[in-house]
A = this chain, B = another copy of it.
Amino acid sequence: MNANHKLISQVSRSTDSKIVFLVIDGLGGLPHPETGKAELETASTPNLDHLASLSMCGLTIPVARGIIPGSGPGHLALFGYDPVANLIKRGVLEAAGIGIDLTPDDLAVRGNFCTVNTEGVITDRRAGRLASTESRELCRLLNDIEVEGAQVDVHPVESHRFVIVFRGPGLSEDLADTDEQVNGVVPPPVRPTHPGAQPTADIVNAAVEKIKNVLQRSGSPANMLTLRGFSKLPDMPSMSDVYKLNPLGIATYPMYRGLARLVGMKVMAKGPGFENVVDEMIANYDDHDFFFIHYKGADTAGEDGNFEAKVRALEEVDAPLKKIIDLHPDVFIVAGDHSTPAIWANHSWHSVPFMMWNRWARPDTATRFTEQDCANGVLGEFPATNVMPLALAHAGKLIKFGA
């Protein structure tokens, strides 16, 4: 546990109060050049605006000013974990996302099936976006391979994507990717990025050789593989250790369930449609004291550069919020893991609108849930890692520090 977590764990206590934590992925935006209004200002969001007028508002800084967060760091910071010290690499993230419970002996890596020509040069790095059914069948075949030094498990994800988990003592994550993310190259062997990782590289290369042979015998267009994001489980305490919470995470997309699982949440899949996520939360409301609910649509539209679609996504998330307001949770947070301004069409470094509705929240002047009103909120721009301590305090879950 780092120093901040030690401090919180000393003063946190379990109580009956309820915290609802909505993360709108890619929430923050920028003004449309024609209207001068950002996505939140353009959208009709009566529930978000009602909450903002009663809430303490601000703008979260996910990692540090200027840093563009991936989904992992963006969420970990909101959950109160140092997003730099606890960087989660792709292999672990994908594994967690499909529900694999990793152990400290496991080395996970994301794989892509690809097509190579007779010279071994990649001609299609997604093997024609292989059907998920065919991919599942290939993974089943690959689970028969054996190499010395580690157990090898191959798990399908979706289309041409899969995860390999190597389980064995002393495996190292210091290995370079073999996926150069372009066609026209021969995938290199796995190389250690640190001399101590040579034995692990040997194990992985032996497995790659056997996998290649199985694939080529299968007759599939997927006759080769590339690997990226070799990674082991980071050493993180659970939210129940640090915060004394009994948390539930509900998300439609696997990656966000994976992130929730990594910090010790029980997770549920639900969707499509945000209203289903809300209904599932309400159905489980008595059994937990913390609810992370995730909405993806705003980020997807933002990444597509579709301003109108992002506006509609924000309106879609707004409607079911009435049900949560009617539940009267002790603390209701609306936050984002990062900004995805539609005019930037990608994750961005901009700070992210935030509000916390609670009877003990100090009011401010916000009347709408927008970047501008949040900028003038009582919290100003502040680190996302401060959100959890604030949530616990407002929920009455912290005792006094020091005499």
Contacts and interface: CB of A to CB of B under 8 A. Distances in A.
Interface string A364-403: 1000000110011011111000101111111000111111
A401 B86 CA distance: 12
A386 B87 CA distance: 21
B379 A360 contact: no
Contacts of A88: 402-403
Interface of A: 3-4, 7-8, 11, 30-31, 59, 63-73, 83-84, 87-90, 93, 229, 341, 344, 346-351, 360, 362-364, 371-372, 375-376, 378-382, 386, 388-394, 398-403
Contact of A402 (B11, B83, B375): B83
Contacts of A399: 68
Contacts of A392: 66
A87 B68 CA distance: 30
A36 B84 CA distance: 41
A348 B362 CA distance: 12
A70 to B, nearest CB: 4
Contacts of A63: 401-402
Contacts of A69: 400-402
Nearest to A377: B375
Contacts of A4: 64
B349 A393 contact: yes
B65 A401 contact: no
Contacts of A7: 64, 67, 84
A360 B403 contact: no
8 shortest interchain CB distances as A-B pairs: A66-B389, A70-B402, A66-B393, A65-B386, A349-B393, A73-B402, A90-B403, A66-B390
Nearest to A6: B84
Given A362-B30, A371-B362, A381-B378, A347 B68 contact: no
Main SS at interface, chain A: loop
Nearest to A70: B402
A392 to B, nearest CB: 6
Contacts of A394: 66, 349
Contacts of A31: 363
Contacts of A380: 380-381
Nearest to A71: B403
A351 B69 CA distance: 28
Contact of A390 (B349, B360, B371, B378): B349
Contacts of A93: 403
A68 B400 contact: yes
A323 to B, nearest CB: 25
Contacts of A362: 30, 350-351, 371, 375
A64 B144 CA distance: 53
A392 B348 CA distance: 12
A89 B347 contact: no
Contact of A375 (B67, B364, B390): B364
B360 A398 contact: no
10 contacts: A7-B84, A30-B362, A67-B393, A68-B393, A88-B403, A89-B403, A229-B403, A350-B360, A362-B375, A364-B375
